[in-house]
Amino acid sequence: MAFAADWCRPARQMTGTSFYYTHTDQWRYERLRADELASPLGPGLLAGRSFIDCLAQASRLGWTPSHPAFDRNPLDLFDESERSGLTVQDHIVRELRAGRLRFAAEDPDDPANWPRVLTVWRSNLLGSSGKGMEYFMRHLLGADDAARARESPPDLRPAEVTWREQAPRGKLDLLTTIDRRRRPAAPGRVTTEQIVTGVSPYKLASVLLQYPTTALFDGLGALAEAASAVPRASRAPFGIFIDWLSRTPPDTVARHYVETFDLRRRCGSPDVTAIASAPVGYQVHAASAWLIWAVWPFSRLVHAWSAPLWYLWRPYIVYRGRVAARPAEPGTSGRRWRKIGVPY
């Protein structure tokens, strides 16, 4: 339920370390490059690259989920694909090739790629479990910070990720905490009440974006009154949406909600025929991978990783017996490791 696995799988959660490293701008303060951690015997693929460059490449190639994925709302991408008559995948590929769409990881300081809302369910995220707390305060919250590090010199800056001369401060529009212990998110620094003040549009939007039930339509009067109290810039959009709700039959509203937020429809149902046009070598490779996973639970294939060439002549696994006995000397009995070519 937490990952909407009943709608679309597999789950595509981004690793927290990568997310915070990117959006707290800690990559702007690096003092070494990725190739300094690479083996001197390697082919030099990391030469001249920073860590954020490597993370951006992993996002582009699909090695790791990255959110936001693109510099455009995924709901808008789906609507554009429908208008163009293309599948979502083909539309995204066309936009990327034309240069009209970019991966968000390639320019994390672009306002279009900022995380806007953060919900903290553990009160020690800021100040303890969130490593680099001063960068959280500076770049995510825009609060007072004690960061003393200087930004990377030009020769250590990313080669592929866009570097903006003015680092952003306060990317978040809203930070909320869900903590029964009623402790501040950052003791002695920032409290939930200080941050949530003045952001009632988010509370109103959270109600309007729920599935349209009878309770929603019964409370349209109260919602319209609440919409008149939000900041001026938000009143017109809320008023238009609430007016549309009051004039539209509930069944039509429910259908519109499903068309907009149905994750299965957004992700695209799996098309098993798509692999039919793939090269034969790729099809064999894919089928072999699934075959390995299918037989893995019923075999001892795990030992193939430690000794792949000798797997067929592997020795028996030694378990502790019920009766204590002195083990035989190595090489005197039973199956044992031997050099390749030497028969048992």
Backbone angles phi, psi at 22, to 5 degrees: -75, -50
CA–CA separation, 272 and 281 (whole Å)? 17
H, E, C per residue of 226-262: HHCCCCHHHHHHHHHHHHHHHHCCHHHHHHHHHHHHC
Sign of dihedral through CA atoms 204, 206, 209, 215? Answer: negative
CA–CA separation, 173 and 302 (whole Å)? 48
Compare 94 and 293 and report the one with higher pLDDT: 94
pTM score? 0.57
pLDDT digits (tens, 9 = 90+) for 254-271: 888 887 776 555 555 556
Coil, strand or helix at 331: coil
pLDDT digits (tens, 9 = 90+) for 170-208: 898 888 777 655 554 444 444 433 333 344 677 788 778
Mean pLDDT computed over every residue of the chain: 77
